[in-house]
Amino acid sequence: MSKKYRIAVVGAGMGGLLAATMLQRAGHACTVYEQAPRLNKVGAGINIAPNSTRIFRELGLERQMQAAGIRPRLKFSRAWNTGELLFTVPVPEMQERYGAPFQAFHRGALQEVLYRTLPAGTVQFGRRLAQMTQQPDEVHLDFEDGASAMADIVIGADGVHSRVREILFGVAPADYHGLVAYRALIRNSHLRPADNTKWWAPDRYVLVYYTTEARDEINLVTGSPQPWTHGDYQPRPASVDDLLATFGDFHEEVQEVLKAATEITCWPMLERDPFSPWSSGRAVLLGDACHPTTPHMGQGAGMAFEDAVVLARCIDEFPDPGVAFQRYESARYARTARIQRDSHANEWTKKDMDADWVYGYDAMTVALE
């Protein structure tokens, strides 16, 4: 029988919530510490590909996931100015090929489904990790509100600005990729853009997609070069004028969406070169904390989900945490590093290409040796 641990997960984001679900189902006592005071519908849209939806299906969450988002019928790539169709992906064919759907959500709706899988009290809100001290057999965690906790294992699922990573390996901000992403939502509008379309200019793009099956919420996310002149790498409020100044030469159909945009924010795209190790002593990282990547491939959350599954499997399979963390990193490193590099190149779905290596991966069964 595998050893059961007290596990502290820092961060109730994409990877942290799924890791807690996996670990609790395996019988570990898992608590999630989240800095936000409550579950907030922050962010905007998120695309989730078959390598992630396969995990939700295998966990019995397919029905809830389907209700929370949309399965688009088609995905298009078009030229930014003429609207010329570069290629089309019939999404139902993806389902047939990979045995799992492509879906889009509001990030908050997806987070809520993951949160609801956990017993009440699993997530402690308002707990921002300040410090962490490792002893041979356990770890002491201190939070900014004065609370503290003990755990056998700590999982740093605290995102791109990870405090756990800083404590383990020192302060080193992520790298600015040189591009910003404007994110915006349009609710209950008369606009009916085509399902999931990416409009490509040589150095910029605009991606437009619905986040609900009712098609009453449209998400807009972009990529464009821009110096980042602010003191930190936190998202900033932005305006329709900013959008029009950057994408004013895009197709008329895009202009209509830009003009209707609300809740507009501007995000610096952050990344790191692949690094190792991902763990030290009894603490280990997952998701953006260890391999932040640009959003161009729409795989950041996907990588956090896959990490969560593989890490939980390793903790269950290998009784020594140090061995479990090594097996986890060696099972995951090459794949996440390739995603980081390919995403950086920003060519994904510009033309038809082999997507099997991304979408065909099964975190539930991948070899751990």
Nearer to ligand FAD, 13 or 321 (CB): 13
Query: By CB under 6 A, is residue 285 in contact with ligand FAD?
Result: no
**Contact positions with ligand FAD (CB under 6 A) in 209-228:** 221
Backbone angles phi, psi at 198, to 5 degrees: -105, 125
Nearer to ligand FAD, 173 or 319 (CB): 173
Query: In the numeric block, which tokens belong to residue 98?
Result: 């990979």
Query: By CB under 6 A, is residue 298 in contact with ligand FAD?
Result: yes
Query: By CB under 6 A, is residue 47 in contact with ligand FAD?
Result: yes
Query: By CB under 6 A, is residue 50 in contact with ligand FAD?
Result: no
Counting every residue, how long is the chain?
369
- Which residue numbers are catalytic? 209
Sign of CA dihedral 225, 230, 235, 239: negative
CA dihedral 297, 300, 305, 311 (to 10 degrees): 120
CA atoms within 13 A on the CB side of 196: 27
Neighbours of 312 (CB within 10 A): 27
Q: What angle do CA 279, 340, 60 make, to 5 degrees?
A: 75
Q: Which stretch binds ligand FAD (CB under 6 A): 65-73, 86-94, 291-299, 356-364?
A: 291-299
In the list 16, 50, 193, 321, the residue contacting ligand FAD (rule: CB under 6 A) is 16
Query: By CB under 6 A, is residue 302 in contact with ligand FAD?
Result: yes
Q: Are 153 and 315 in contact (CB under 8 A)?
A: yes
**Contact positions with ligand FAD (CB under 6 A) in 248-267:** 267
In the list 183, 198, 282, 327, the residue contacting ligand FAD (rule: CB under 6 A) is 183
Site string for ligand FAD, 88-127 (x = CB under 6 A): ---------------------------------------x
Q: What is the radius of gyration, based on Cα positions, of the chain?
A: 20
Q: Are 45 and 110 in contact (CB under 8 A)?
A: no
In the list 288, 306, 329, 342, the residue contacting ligand FAD (rule: CB under 6 A) is 288
Q: Are 306 and 352 in contact (CB under 8 A)?
A: no
Looking at the DSSP bridge assignments, the partners of residue 132 are 141
Nearer to ligand FAD, 101 or 300 (CB): 300
Instruction: Compute the distance between CA of residue 226 and CA of residue 268 in angstroms, rounded to an integer.
Output: 9
Nearer to ligand FAD, 301 or 314 (CB): 301
Query: By CB under 6 A, is residue 163 in contact with ligand FAD?
Result: yes
Q: Give the footprint of ligand FAD on this chain (CB under 6 A).
A: 10-16, 33-36, 46-47, 127-129, 157-159, 163, 181, 183, 221, 267, 287-289, 295, 298-302, 304
